[in-house]
């Protein structure tokens, strides 16, 4: 590891990380971003604490008066290196599956546990203290370095929209919210809601976020015994509590839906023939346990980014209405309109109403670009790993601005626990990524 990453920097960065993890920065706005702070006090507290950390590092900070974003600058130069980070986190999920409080940073067995350690507070602090190492080493900066802190990455990216409306764009940069060596292409993200009628004798409330494969799906209507028999025949894991049946799956990030088990999809398949409902029938018949949307769209894939990924992130049925929320990751060379048209035609047959919730266009930075080649070279120099750059279905801030890529902090072969219970980062990975980010900032902002 580079001698720039001193014992003092390690100790200070670990304290900063723990302080940030202890802030439950989950969006509590319920869609009302016109309130202040726009996404809840937790996220606002995390933003202010991060800017406070930056102040202590010797950076010039700015807090958006409306609370959507903040940034911190160091150095001068006609060009700007941007490092885009986010401070909001997804909910903790099933708290009973955590071995420690998700919002109390807990150090054990050479790792720090807590929500946000991998996504994205750990990498954010690693990159910040990578810069601190350069400051302490009195390196000369030829480009200004700007850390941009978003607050709405896990939902609708309204923070980035506000930043882009009021601030200048960096000339190049990276996002510490992916996997090493780097990600040069990201699928387009389409999230939609499908609404329909309610059901007087049926109550379903499943899923917390569109971009998470739900690991539980709960149903109650007084016919638990009959439905239990259906799930027994399907060999679907479930538990019964009072008048409720709870189907169990496996939670992963929606971009990797093929690695999980969607509890909503399993529940819907069981309910289709047992107690049909438009929303349930659509999921059970047109999606089922598929994660590539083949029944709806046929084969959708390309050589750059692979196949389409589809996740049923939420299902709500009550007396008054029903709602399905889908998360779709579209390969970079495919047309959104074709997917949208096919989906609208399918849901219309079930009497459901289609509405776009969010859309992010795809990202593709050529592998031959100076930015990509510089980051690949330094990563190989630091690790000896000559792995090829990647594409992903994940949506990072890299696509929010030009000439950006996702660069770590997850290492190849390591378990990804973003959006899962017992999320943690090992101290070895934390400090190694800090060293890599320090070198990245050096080569991109300190070398003419």
Residues annotated as part of the active site: 88, 153
Distance separating alpha carbons of residues 426 and 424, to the nearest angstrom: 7
Cβ atoms of residues 194 and 279 within 8 Å = yes
> Whose structure tokens read 């495919």?
334
Which of 44, 10, 3 is CA-nearest to residue 27?
A: 44
Q: Can you give the three-state secondary structure of the chain, one letter per residue?
A: CCCCCCHHHHHHHHHHHHHHHCCCCECCCCCCCCCCCCCCHHHHHHHHHHHHHHHHCCCEEEECCCCCEEEEEECCCCCEEEEEEECCECCCCCHHHCCCCCCCCEEECCEEECCCCCCCHHHHHHHHHHHHHHHHCCCCCCCEEEEEEECCCCCCCHHHHHHHHHCCCCCEEEECCEECCCEEEECEEEEEEEEEECCCCCEEEECCCCCECCCEEEEECCCHHHHHHHHHHHCCCEEEECCEEEEECECCEHHHHHHCECHHHHHHHHHHCCCCCHHHHHHHHHHCCCCCCHHHHCCCEECCCEECEEEEEEEEECCCEEEEEEEEEECCCCCHHHHHHHHHHHHHCCCCEEEEEEEECCEECCCCCHHHHHHHHHHHHHHCCCCCCEEECCCCHHHHCCCEEECCEECCCCCCCCCCCCCEEEHHHHHHHHHHHHHHHHHHHCCC
């Amino acid at each position: 590891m580079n001698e720039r990453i001193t014992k003092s920097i390690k100790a200070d960065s670990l304290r900063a990380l723990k302080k940030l993890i202890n802030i439950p920065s989950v969006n509590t706005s319920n869609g009302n971003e016109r309130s202040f702070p726009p996404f809840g006090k937790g996220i606002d507290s995390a933003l202010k604490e991060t800017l406070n950390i930056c102040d202590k590092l010797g950076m010039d900070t700015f807090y958006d008066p409306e609370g959507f974003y903040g940034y911190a600058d160091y150095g001068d130069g006609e060009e700007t290196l941007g490092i885009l980070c986010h401070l909001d986190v997804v909910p903790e999920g099933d708290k009973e599956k955590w071995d420690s409080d998700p919002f109390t940073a807990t150090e054990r067995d050479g790792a720090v546990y807590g929500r946000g350690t991998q996504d994205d507070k750990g990498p954010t602090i690693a990159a910040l203290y990578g810069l601190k190492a350069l400051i302490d080493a009195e390196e000369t900066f030829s480009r200004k370095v700007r850390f941009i802190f978003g607050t709405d990455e896990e939902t609708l990216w309204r923070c980035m929209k506000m930043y882009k409306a009021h601030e200048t764009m960096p000339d190049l940069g990276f996002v510490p919210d992916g996997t090493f060596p780097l990600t040069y292409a990201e699928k387009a993200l389409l999230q939609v809601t499908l609404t329909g009628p309610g059901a007087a004798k049926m109550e379903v409330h499943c899923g917390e976020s569109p971009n998470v494969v739900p690991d539980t799906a709960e149903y109650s209507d007084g016919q638990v015994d009959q439905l239990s028999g259906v799930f027994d025949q399907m060999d679907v894991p479930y538990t019964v509590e009072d008048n409720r049946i709870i189907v169990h799956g496996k939670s992963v990030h929606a971009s990797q839906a093929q690695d999980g088990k969607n509890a909503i999809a399993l529940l819907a398949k069981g309910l289709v023939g047992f107690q049909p409902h438009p929303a349930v029938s659509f999921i059970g018949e047109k999606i089922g346990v598929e994660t590539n949307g083949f029944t709806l769209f046929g084969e959708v894939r390309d050589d750059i980014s692979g196949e389409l990924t589809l996740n049923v992130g939420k299902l709500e049925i009550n007396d008054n209405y029903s709602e399905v929320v889908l998360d779709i990751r579209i390969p970079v060379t495919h047309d959104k309109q074709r997917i949208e048209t096919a989906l609208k035609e399918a849901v219309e047959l079930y009497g459901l109403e289609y509405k776009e919730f969010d859309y992010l266009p795809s990202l593709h930075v050529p592998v031959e670009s100076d930015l990509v080649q510089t980051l690949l070279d330094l990563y190989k120099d630091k690790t000896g790993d000559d792995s090829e750059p990647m594409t992903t279905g994940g949506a990072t801030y890299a696509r929010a601005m030009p000439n950006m890529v996702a660069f770590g902090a997850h290492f190849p072969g390591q378990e990804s626990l973003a959006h899962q219970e017992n999320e943690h980062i090992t101290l070895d990975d934390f400090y190694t990524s800090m060293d890599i980010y320090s070198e990245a900032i050096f080569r991109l902002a300190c070398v003419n």
